[in-house]
Amino acid sequence: MRTPPRFDRGHTDDLMSFLAASPSPYHAVANAAERLEKAGFRQVAETDAWDGTTGGKYVLRGGAIVAWYVPEGAEPHTPFRIVGAHTDSPNLRVKPRPDSGGHGWRQVAVEVYGGPLLNSWLDRDLGLAGRLSLRDGSTRLVNVDRALLRVPQLAIHLDRSVTAEGLKLDKQRHLQPVWGLGDDVHDGDLIRFLEQEAGIPEGETVGWDLMVHSIEPPAYLGRDKDLVAGPRMDNLLSVHAGTAALAAVATSEEPLPYIPVLAAFDHEENGSQSDTGADGPLLGGVLERSVFARGGSYEDRARAFAGTVCLSSDTGHAVHPNYAERHDPTHHPRAGEGPILKVNVNNRYATDGSGRAVFATACDKAGVPFQTFVSNNSMPCGTTIGPITAARHGIKTVDIGVAILSMHSARELCGAADPFLLANALVAFLEG
């Protein structure tokens, strides 16, 4: 019997609010934690001893969150059902010495993070967000969500070749945003400004992790409002869906044969090799400590991992109407027609036949249609946290997601129905 869907279009409305409120990975995990707290979860510190009590718990580390729900009757060897995602998006990030400029313009020095579509950041009103690290060891979130910065494009009159040869951007010279006028550039100006914005005494900030973001809010698009345009869908769309699904199963009265988990990592866009990335020890440490806190042994840990399945949920490519030849001719995922199963025989995605069966069963239970994505043989295939998770922890992993256009742009596009279709499939998967 199919389970009635948990989410409808209201889920997409909430996604848009989540995107707008999460201009950095640090904001994203704080917002996910807030939603989980409302569902009864509580934060546990990695430096504390953990107990084996039932209920929802989560760990925050930088721009990553791992949350799990231990149901009544869970054994130490009870397997996990994991939704994996990532919190970071390609963008421009502030350098250690940010104050720069010249020729009467005040600028902020930035570095390119990940692989953004650089042209999408031009002539766009930008805010600035992230975290400030203070002298006492604490951190403070900051978000200047108004028109503060802009990367101005060169006028066509000064570059006539752009129409014939296309736009060519030098990452060092052409992407430094302006934020004011003046010839005097003083070290510390930007950080002093941000301290004022955050209500921090001047001189208390000793470190920062800051990034620019488009201040244009997410919006429904199209005649029938059947599309959503917004920032950071890759991959906050999956973080939001995973958070909603975990909260839903944790507050359900249905018995759970597995321990449902959300693992949202940072640094996927530059290789996942960090203490908060999928190639780091965070997920494995949390799962192992959960087993041991419930009185388990290494044998219980091995049994639990052997029965565990992870859905690595990340955005994928919808067929582009202007570039259909770039896609595999027999695999054309369409926006608005359900999540995609991502397959690559060279293990750029972790999906195999048995993994497909797991996802197909979940979608059938949820009454959700799904599609399959395979790259054109002549095009290189991207990758996700999926293969990393499978190899690092020895757990079955399946790559899925929502098909979008304009991936890695400052503003991306998806079907308005796909976020809640994905969330319903994730609920069915976590419920087992």
pLDDT in 10s for each residue of the chain, 432 residues: 345 677 899 999 999 999 999 999 999 999 999 999 999 999 999 999 999 999 999 999 999 999 999 999 999 999 999 999 999 999 999 999 999 999 999 999 999 999 999 999 999 999 999 999 999 999 999 999 999 999 999 999 999 888 888 899 999 999 999 999 999 899 999 999 999 999 999 999 999 999 999 999 999 999 999 999 999 999 999 999 999 999 999 999 889 999 999 999 999 999 999 999 999 999 999 999 999 999 999 999 999 999 999 999 999 999 999 999 999 999 999 999 999 999 999 999 999 999 999 999 999 999 999 999 999 999 999 999 999 999 999 999 999 999 999 999 999 999 999 999 999 999 999 999
CA distance 97 to 108: 9
Q: Which residues pair with 261 in a beta bridge?
A: 68, 82
- Is 383 strand, coil or helix? coil
The model scores a pTM over 0.85: yes
DSSP string, 43-98: E--TTSPP---SEEEEEEETTEEEEEEE-TT--TT--EEEEEEE----EEEEEEEE
CA distance 149 to 177: 6
CA distance 312 to 5: 21
Q: Which residues contact 377 (CB under 8 A, 6 or more apart)?
A: 328
Query: Residue 7: what pLDDT?
Result: 85
Give the pair of three-digit tokens for residue 412. Answer: 């991306």
Q: Which residues contact 352 (CB under 8 A, 6 or more apart)?
A: none
CA distance 179 to 163: 28
Query: Residue 2: what pLDDT?
Result: 47
User: Which of 405, 265, 264 minimizes the C-alpha distance to 326?
Assistant: 405
CA distance 123 to 108: 15
What's phi and psi for 120, nearest 5 deg? -75, -10
Query: Residue 4: what pLDDT?
Result: 61
CA distances from 148 to 187, 191, 218, 409 (A): 18, 14, 19, 20
Name the residue with tokens 């419920």.
Answer: 431
- The answer to whether 93 and 210 have CB atoms below 8 angstroms apart is yes
